[in-house]
Structure 1
Amino acid sequence: MTRNWVNPMIYTLIALAIFYVGVQLFTNTSSFLSSIVMMIGIAVLIYGAIYFFFIRQRIGSGGNSNEMKKYKQAVKQSKQKYKAPKPVKSTKTNTSTTKSTSLQKKKAKRKQPSHLRVIEGNKNNKKDRASF
């Protein structure tokens, strides 16, 4: 039952507010516009202060910024590693340039993958299994 009288009261308040804004706009335009600009400015300042002191700290906390830096560094390294080689533009086809490019290709093929490495150990000291 209490909702029956609340809805018309809210609509009445909204209608009166719109009527007041219209009256202020036509009777005292300069002060109305200056007050609107001040309200917008104050709202921006309040939002900026709330964002600066509360929201920004929540976003940066928890190690997220450190993890993001590491992620960006890993992406950068991955792009450098897997980027496609640029085609060589040559107007002259000399035998010396073709030999040098073939040598470069051979060197590139011989290069070991970066994720594999040789582990040094005692390979010459083989145990005699018969002595056990």
Structure 2
Amino acid sequence: MKNRTSTYIVSGLIVLAIFGFAFKLFTDPLSILITLATIALVGALIYFLVTRLTTSGSGRQQQRAFQKAAKRSKKRFQTKDANASSKRSKIRSLASARNKTKDASHLTVIEGKKNRKKNRASF
């Protein structure tokens, strides 16, 4: 029951708003334009104030520091890419010249009792 009454009230308000807008459009269209411009101006002013007040000074400094570090990192990777091709050829020639046999690892394998099943009855 409450859903039907609220639906009727909301739809009635929408219909009245449409009639009011159409009446205002035909009688005084300039006032609609002034109202829309005022709403846009107030909205822009509120947006500007909110963005200025919420962004703290330390936040701006951190953003600048991040952008500066990103530029440095980008420059560093660009110079590494340029030198990488010459380094790769040197590495390949050294690898082919190096002996293919490797030294034994310092790790040893400890044989365990992997195949023996646990006797669960003894627990």
Where on the TM-score scale, by shorter chain, does this alignment land: which range? 0.5 to 0.7
Q: Which residue of 2 aligns with 1:78?
A: 77
Q: Which has the higher helix share?
A: 2
Change (3 A) 1:13 1:78: same
Partner-residue secondary structure (3-state), 2:39: helix
Q: What is the count of residue pairs matched by the alignment?
A: 84
Aligned counterparts of 1:83 and 1:48: Cα–Cα separation in 2: 44
Change (3 A) 1:3 1:65: farther
Structure 1 residue 21: deviation in Å?
1.1
Computed over aligned residues only, the root mean square deviation of the Cα atoms, in angstroms, reads: 2.9
The one-letter amino acid of 2:78's match is K
Q: Which residue of 2 aligns with 1:94?
A: none
Q: Which residue of 2 aligns with 1:47?
A: 47
Structure 1, unmatched stretches of 5+, are 85-104, 110-132
Q: Which residue of 2 aligns with 1:24?
A: 24
Structure 1 residue 67: deviation in Å?
3.5
Partner-residue secondary structure (3-state), 1:25: helix
Q: Which residue of 1 aligns with 2:98?
A: none
TM-score, normalised with respect to structure 1: 0.51
Structure 2, unmatched stretches of 5+, are 91-123
Structure 1 residue 20: deviation in Å?
1.0
- Map 1:48-67 onto structure 2 (within 5 A): 48-54=48-54, 56-57=55-56, 60=59, 63=62, 65-67=64-66
State the identity as a percent.
25
Change (3 A) 1:69 1:36: same
Aligned counterparts of 1:10 and 1:65: Cα–Cα separation in 2: 49
Moved over 2 A (4+): 1-4, 60-69
The one-letter amino acid of 1:9's match is I
TM-score, normalised with respect to structure 2: 0.54
Aligned counterparts of 2:23 and 2:82: Cα–Cα separation in 1: 66
